[in-house]
Amino acid sequence: MDFSKFFSVILLACCLCMTCNNNAVVKASHRIYPEFQSFQAKKVMKLHRTGFHFQPPRNWINDPNAPMFFNGIYHLFYQYNPKGAVWGNIVWAHSVSTDMINWEALDPAIYPTKPFDINGCWSGSATILPGNKPVILYTGVDTQNRQVQNYAIPANYSDPYLREWVKPDNNPLVVPGVGMNATAFRDPTTAWQGKDGQWRILVGSKGMHVGSKGKHAGIAFLYRSKDFVNWVQARYPLHSSAHTGMWECPDFFPVSLNGKAGLDTSLVGKNMKHVMKVSLDLTRYDYYTVGTYFPRKDRYVPDNTSDDGWNGLRYDYGNYYASKSFFDAGKDRRILWGWANESDTAQNDNDKGWAGILTIPRMVWLDSNRKQLVQWPIKELETLRGKKVQISNQQVRKGEHIEVKGITAAQADVEVTFLLPSLDNAEKFDPSWVNAQDLCGLKGSKVEGGVGPFGLLTLSSKHLEEYTPVFFRVFKAPNKHVVLMCSDARSSSLRKSGLYKPSFAGFVDVDLADGKLSLRSLIDHSVVGSFGAGGKTCITSRVYPKLAVFNNAHLYAFNNGTGTVTIESLNAWSMKNAQL
Ligand code: DQQ
């Protein structure tokens, strides 16, 4: 049984156990380690901490919450354990920024104080109401351990940082209805306003309901309100899908049919499609579909261009979960934040005194094929670029690896475009290879192919005892080429036990007519975030090298395919630390 399946079974068991005993310890879907929950490590370990990804100075972090742009300031809240490096004691930590890269930490904005959230302040979203009034909706776990939806508003709208948040006494706004599973009812979305003036939100859930698809269906319940205070459940969920289990952190937003500009969450019309994302508790990955929102019926119907379930499109084919997007009205773009948890044991997280990072915020838009999204790190990240090195028109023959020298390879931003002189030698694609991660496990970076594997060896030790290869391999199918992209952690660390080292991978739907394939990797000590073909396929790996650390890390371009490939251009930068 592979790790993800094993993990799913454990999670399923936890969920079942939660359902039968509502009075048990509050569990969410996170693993519980009572012994570590309130254990503050004396020292925070520097090794493997990131330089430019968002992470608090110590302790546990999970979901990004309620990102928003308000009066020129970006606000980011996140699920945070102030007392330890595993999940527990969760509060809404709060940071502010003018560029989403450098951050100033403020006091926690929301923490358990009231009967409607005394057992937990869990994930939620922000909506900016008319009159420029931000409001947060979040899940509270109440005195009976029911998940209820609450709101919080700024105590002082003229404070540019909105430091203090008030939870009015008319909370909770939404409680689980008759027949609903009160321990599977959470993570309200940003609200959107219909032409009828009513606000709408979604709440993630699972189970058998009117309009849901069977006992194990995932559900996005829809609620409507005229005044943002009195909410009424719609008869039918906005969407539901069979056999997908609990839908955590749903996200629902419009995307333009033309170009990269983002759209306000309330926009509807002809020149757009809608995207529905759910975080599947059973697999711990974020899946999305592109489809149509029918505002009169208040139903969402995914297009038939991808699967609406476990085999569907993912924002990221690596370690990435509980993401949330928001419309950045300052720059007319939609931004996506995600959480990349550790791949180490809880004992090790506890020892190092911290766990979890957020991925670099990404701009997100609809691909011109209208079947998938494209993601790209926000432009502001480039302000951290320092020393640059370049390679151009350099051939990489079978078995060669070329060192990219002169930058800090443990903290770098690398963009490379490969030119493939010929696709004639591409290996035949076997249609039974439906799972990219399994295929990458079978055909790793050292397994010779016709076209590829070629790409980057990130976080490599000098003699390649350790390396995290990020690479492509091209196959020939009857009427097209199939491109596989891998970020393979199996060789990332000499450490033998405890680490989760998957061969993360995704297929890349790209036209190879111009013979080019591009790759960008953001390398930051224990994370490699990669963007294939301009952001059509993204993979985040968490890795823990023993040798390839700090100045002992190296970066190489490599090719283990029989056909020579050419580095048309490679630009790599040392990355400075972000101010956090
Ligand atoms: N994390 C939160 C929940 C959410 C889960 C609790 C997803 O609200 O469903 O920390 O990671």
Say whether both 477 and 345 belong to one domain: no
* pLDDT category of residue 21 using cuts at 50, 70 and 90: very low
Tokens of 483: 């491109």
Say whether both 78 and 144 belong to one domain: yes
* 385 Cα–ligand 1 center, Å: 33
Say whether both 205 and 289 belong to one domain: yes
Q: Which atom of ligand 1 is nearest to the CA of 249?
A: 9
Q: How many Å apart are CA 103 and CA 176, to the nearest integer?
A: 36
Say whether both 407 and 515 belong to one domain: yes
* Residue 429 CB coordination number (10 Å): 17
CATH number for 513: 2.60.120.560
Say whether both 358 and 404 belong to one domain: no
Say whether both 350 and 498 belong to one domain: no
Looking at the domain assignment, is residue 580 inside a domain?
Answer: no
Quickly list DSSP for 449-470. Answer: BSEEEEEEEEEE-TTSSS-EEE
User: What percent of the chain is modeled with pLDDT above 70?
Assistant: 95
Q: Distances from the Cα of 81 to the Cαs of 90, 117, 157, 350, 525, in angstroms?
A: 5, 16, 27, 12, 23
Looking at the domain assignment, is residue 439 inside a domain?
Answer: yes
Looking at the domain assignment, is residue 59 inside a domain?
Answer: yes
Active site residue 298: no
| Across 302-331, average pLDDT | 97
Per the structure, the count of domains in the chain is: 2
Q: Which atom of ligand 1 is nearest to the CA of 29?
A: 5
Say whether both 154 and 293 belong to one domain: yes
Classify residue 258 as exposed, middle or buried by CB count within 10 Å of its CB (0-12, 13-18, 19+). Answer: exposed
Say whether both 210 and 115 belong to one domain: yes
Q: Which residue out of 31, 249, 284, 339 has the highest number of ligand 1 atoms within 8 Å of its CB and is therefore the one to mutate? A: 249
Query: Which tens digits make up the pLDDT trace of 209-262?
Result: 887 778 899 999 999 999 999 999 999 999 999 999 999 999 999 999 999 999
* 372 Cα–ligand 1 center, Å: 26
Q: How distant is the alpha carbon of residue 80 from its chain centre?
A: 17
Domain that holds residue 274: 9-370
Looking at the domain assignment, is residue 144 inside a domain?
Answer: yes
* pLDDT category of residue 24 using cuts at 50, 70 and 90: very low
* 297 Cα–ligand 1 center, Å: 29
Q: Which atom of ligand 1 is nearest to the CA of 87?
A: 10
Q: Which residue out of 7, 187, 280 has the highest number of ligand 1 atoms within 8 Å of its CB and is therefore the one to mutate? A: 187
Looking at the domain assignment, is residue 195 inside a domain?
Answer: yes
Q: How many Å apart are CA 61 and CA 357, to the nearest integer?
A: 7
Looking at the domain assignment, is residue 35 inside a domain?
Answer: yes
Query: Which tens digits make up the pLDDT trace of 43-77?
Result: 999 999 999 999 999 999 999 999 999 999 999 99
Looking at the domain assignment, is residue 2 inside a domain?
Answer: no
Looking at the domain assignment, is residue 285 inside a domain?
Answer: yes
Say whether both 166 and 189 belong to one domain: yes
Say whether both 395 and 333 belong to one domain: no
Tokens of 533: 């073909």
* 63 Cα–ligand 1 center, Å: 6
Say whether both 303 and 435 belong to one domain: no
